[in-house]
Amino acid sequence: MMSKIIENLKKVHSNEELFEIALKLEKAYAPYKLAFLGWDFIFSYFPNNSYDTITKISLTTTPHKFINDLVLSYCGTERVIKYHLAKSHLKNNDEICVFEFKVNDSRLDFGVINGSSYAYEIKTERDNTTRLKKQIKDYKKVFEYVSVVTHECHIRQVMKTVGSEIGILQYKLDMGSCEFFWIRQPKINRGVQKKMQIEHLNTPELSNGILLKGISKNEIPIYKNSRRNKINSLYNKSEINDFFKYSIKLRQEKKWGNVKSKFNILHPIDLQECYSNFFDPDQCYTIKAPHLY
C-alpha cells in the first residue's frame, strides 16, 4: 500500500524523479546524522518546487520516516532486501541472523544460524556479479547452505556463475512490499573446511573450545595460532562444524536480540545500524533538530 508521504510527493514529482532522489538520499543517509540535520538535510536533495509539499508533510511525520518510506518505495537497495529477509525470520526463536559477517576476503550480506548454517549473498538490480564467484567460494568454506538473493535481471548470469548446489532466491519489490521466490533451493555444501571454520573463531571461542574438551585452563596455549592448532587436534570435522555454529550463534545472539526487541519501532533501513552499533531508535527518532528553512 502506498504511504501518504509517497502519495503527496507524486503530486509534484514523477516516479523517475523520486527514484533518483531516493537513491541519493539512501546513499547519504545515516540515522544519527539525520537526527541532527533534520528536514534541512532532506530539502537539500529536492528541487525548490517541492518546498510547500515537504513542509506540509513535515507537520505530520518525522524526517526518518520520510526517508524510509521513500527508499522502501523506490529503492531496491541492499538495506531494503536485508530488512525483508530479517523480517521473515523474526518468529524463529531457535535461530539468529547475522549481517556483514566477514568470511575470508568477502563480507557476507546476511546469514542464519540454527541447527544448520545459511549464507545469503544479495545482488540487487544495481549490483553487478563480477565478484560473485569469489564470494561464493569463500562462503562455501564455512557455511553449510549457500544462496544468492537476486533481482530477476541477474538470474541468468547467476546460474552461469555458481554451481548447482547454490540456492537462487529471487525477490520482487512493489512499493514497500517484498516477495521471495525460490528459483532453486540450496543443497548441502560438502566443501566446508575445518581449518577455515577454526580461522573464524575468536580468541575466547578458541579457549572455550579447548576447555570443553576437558583441558585445564593452565594448559591453554598463550598464542592464538597455537590455540587453533590445539583445537584442530582435539576436534574432528563434524565436531568443528557444530562448534563453529554454536560459537557464532553465541557471539551474535545479543545483536540479533537487540534487533528483534526493537523491530516494531525501527524504520526498516535502520535495521543494520541497530544490529551493528546497538542503535537506539527511541533516542534517535526524538532528537529535535533545528529547522533552518
State the chain's mean pLDDT as an integer. 93
Q: What is the DSSP letter of 12?
A: T
CA atoms within 13 A on the CB side of 99: 22
pLDDT of residue 292: 45
Residue of higher predicted confidence among 160 and 280: 160
Distance CA 233, CA 231 (A): 5
User: Which residues are within 8 A (CB) of 219 and not within 5 positions of it... i.e. 6 or more apart?
Assistant: 210
Segment 251-256 shows an average pLDDT of: 95
Q: What confidence category does residue 291 fall into, taking pLDDT thresholds of 50, 70 and 90?
A: low
**Which residue segments constitute the domains of the chain, with CATH numbers given?**
4-75+280-284 (no CATH), 80-190 (3.40.1350), 194-248 (no CATH)
Strands 167-174 and 145-150: parallel
Position 290 pLDDT exceeds 80: no
Distance CA 279, CA 71 (A): 19
CA angle 100, 92, 190 (to 5 degrees): 60
Question: Locate cell 556479479: which residue?
Answer: 129
What one-letter code names the amino acid at 239? E
**Residues 232 and 207 sit within 8 Å (Cβ to Cβ):** no
Determine which of 82-91, 128-137, 219-228, 284-293 has the lowest per-residue pLDDT on average.
284-293
Segment 4-23 shows an average pLDDT of: 93
**Residues 63 and 70 sit within 8 Å (Cβ to Cβ):** no
pLDDT digits (tens, 9 = 90+) for 15-39: 999 999 999 999 999 998 898 888 9
Q: What is the pTM of this model?
A: 0.92
What is the CB neighbour count within 10 angstroms for residue 171? Answer: 21
Report CA-CA distances (Å) from 182 to 17, 101, 118, 158, 171.
Answer: 32, 23, 15, 13, 9
* Closest to 260 in 3D by CA, of 97, 80, 65, 32: 97
What one-letter code names the amino acid at 257? G
CA 277 to chain centre: 13
Outline where 104-236 has alpha helix (H).
132-139, 155-161, 194-199, 203-211, 224-234
Outline where the chain has alpha helix (H).
4-9, 15-28, 31-37, 39-43, 51-58, 63-74, 78-87, 132-139, 155-161, 194-199, 203-211, 224-234, 237-262, 271-277, 281-284
* Buried b or exposed e, range 202-217, using 16+ CB within 10 angstroms: eeebbbbbbeeeeeee
What is the CB neighbour count within 10 angstroms for residue 269? Answer: 23
Cell for 170?
Answer: 529471487
Distance CA 85, CA 41 (A): 29
